[in-house]
Amino acid sequence: MSTLDSPERGAALLAGPAPRILAIVAPYYREVVDGMLAGAQRVFADVNAAVEVAEVAGGYELPAALAMALATPRRWDGYLLLGCVVRGETDHYTFICDAICHGVMDLSTRHAAAIGFGLLTVDSLDQALARSRDDRMNKGAEAAHAVIGQVALARRWGLAG
């Protein structure tokens, strides 16, 4: 594995109060998503973020839960979405992954929401586990860095709650 596989990231520079983050997680693959959430929590601890966790049944429910959260008065500065879809023997995988990704992108742009999107779309459970370990490849940590960066940008441009 080369050092180009995943960048080293430090704590994001974030002006203002500690961010409030809603983590919406789809723990269908509990070990994988718990590992990703643990990676995200370590990143959030660096900026003293207050994190609320909400679980949904599976990845397909992530966009609807995000839509519900965005429909409430802004209680959160940013949103973290974590889930995992493992390829099976049918086209179901492709349809589910496309629907989730398009749903999240539509909501994030329509609402100018700060989102960290950590949906693993993998061929095997081993691949998912490799991306949820406590190391620099943890995709939950990457998504947490993304949402903190988005919160910082929203604050810079005067869009924060």
- CB neighbours (10 Å) of residue 93? 16
Tens of pLDDT, residues 61-72: 999 999 999 999
**β-pair type (20-25, 50-55):** parallel
Interval 13-28: pLDDT, tens: 788 999 999 999 999 9
pLDDT tens column, 34-55: 999 999 999 999 999 999 999 9
Does residue 12 carry a pLDDT above 80?
no
- Helix, strand, coil content of the chain in percent (nearest 5): 50, 20, 35
Helices (H), strands (E): how many in the chain? 5, 4
Task: Extract the annotated binding site for (2S)-2-hydroxy-3-oxobutyl phosphate.
Answer: 89-90, 131
92 noted as active-site residue = yes
**Annotation: CATH topology of 19-53+93-161:** Rossmann fold (3.40.50)
Query: Does the pTM exceed 0.85?
Result: yes
Residues annotated as binding site? Answer: 28, 59-61, 84-86, 89-90, 117, 131
- Catalytic member of 92, 102, 111, 145: 92
